[in-house]
Amino acid sequence: MTPNITDSHCHLDFPDFEGQLDQIVANAAEVGVTRMVTICTKLRLEPQVRAIAEAHAPVFYAAGTHPMSAASEPLASTDELIALADHPKFVGIGETGLDYHYTAESADIQKKSLRIHIDAARQTGLPLIIHARAADDDMARILAEEHKQGAYSCVMHCFSSSAALAHAALDLGFYLSMSGIATFPKSQEVRDIFATAPVDRILVETDAPYLAPPPYRGKRNEPAYTAHTARKGAEVFAMDYADFAAQTQKNFERLFSKAAAYKVGA
């Protein structure tokens, strides 16, 4: 039996997958990726992302305003995000966060947007999905400040930041998600950070169509390739693949409890 795993973060609405979603979902199922969360990064595109989740049984979705779009897209409201949570397959808030690598000039609006998303996560009980790049100090500070205002759950998606940010997030009870970056030969530092984390706080993802792991590096990523990242994760934690896969499933279902509770036809 192939162990089941979940691609906790992908972008199935991107043009890379146009007209191919049935095959993409089938490819994933063949290697044990029996569930995936597709992420809407611009709220005006939420209807088409929702439609993908509605059309494909293994697909759930989340929505928010990506930090790199925070200045060019309308500012989300807490009420707008909360309203999306009425959908049975809407399971997370985001992705949101801070990106000072590409869009440092919009730091102020990014921080405002981030706090709105955190408030929505707090009020809905759905996990916050965080993108963090070159903004570790502000990210750690805001996550902690907001947590003091009221608890919420969170995953640091595609984690490749500093050990300090990893431990700041873990100390708040948050999760780290392992992407194809963790499989790259030059990513030993990232692997070392994951190795210091509790294994019950680890998720796996693709961030497809980006960051394909070897042997597909440089090509389009897809949810099926989560299996390659999960196998590297098993090595990092010195676990059998089946045991690591089972642990990440438990972790996903603990954090994304709405997806775990979903029943077909609900």
CATH architecture of 5-261: Alpha-Beta Barrel (3.20)
Query: Can you give the pLDDT at residue 263?
Result: 84
- Extents of the domains making up the chain: 5-261
- Residues 57 and 218: their CA atoms lie apart, in Å, by 29
With bands split at pLDDT 50, 70 and 90, how would you rate the model's confidence at 9?
very high
Which distant-in-sequence residues (6+ apart) come within 8 Å of 176 by Cβ?
Answer: 155, 156, 159, 166, 169, 170, 194, 197, 201, 202, 203
Which distant-in-sequence residues (6+ apart) come within 8 Å of 66 by Cβ?
Answer: 41, 42, 95, 96, 97, 99, 131
Average pLDDT score over residue span 219-224: 98
Residue 230 in this model has a pLDDT that exceeds 80: yes
Phi, psi dihedrals of residue 198, rounded to the nearest 5°: -65, 135
Residue 81 in this model has a pLDDT that exceeds 60: yes
Closest CA to 156 of 9, 14, 41: 9
Residue 264 in this model has a pLDDT that exceeds 90: no
- Residues 134 and 188: their CA atoms lie apart, in Å, by 19
Could you read off the pLDDT of 114-144 as tens digits, one per residue? 999 999 999 999 999 999 999 999 999 999 9
Percent above pLDDT 90 for the chain: 98
Average pLDDT score over residue span 20-38: 98
Task: Decide if 204 contacts 235 (C-beta within 8 A).
Answer: no
Query: Can you give the pLDDT at residue 265?
Result: 58
Average pLDDT score over residue span 239-260: 98
Average pLDDT, the chain: 97
Could you read off the pLDDT of 143-191 as tens digits, one per residue? 999 999 999 999 999 999 999 999 999 999 999 999 999 999 999 999 9
Residue 266 in this model has a pLDDT that exceeds 80: no
In this prediction the pTM is 0.97
Closest CA to 136 of 173, 171, 162: 162
Tokens representing residue 177 in the block = 């998600």
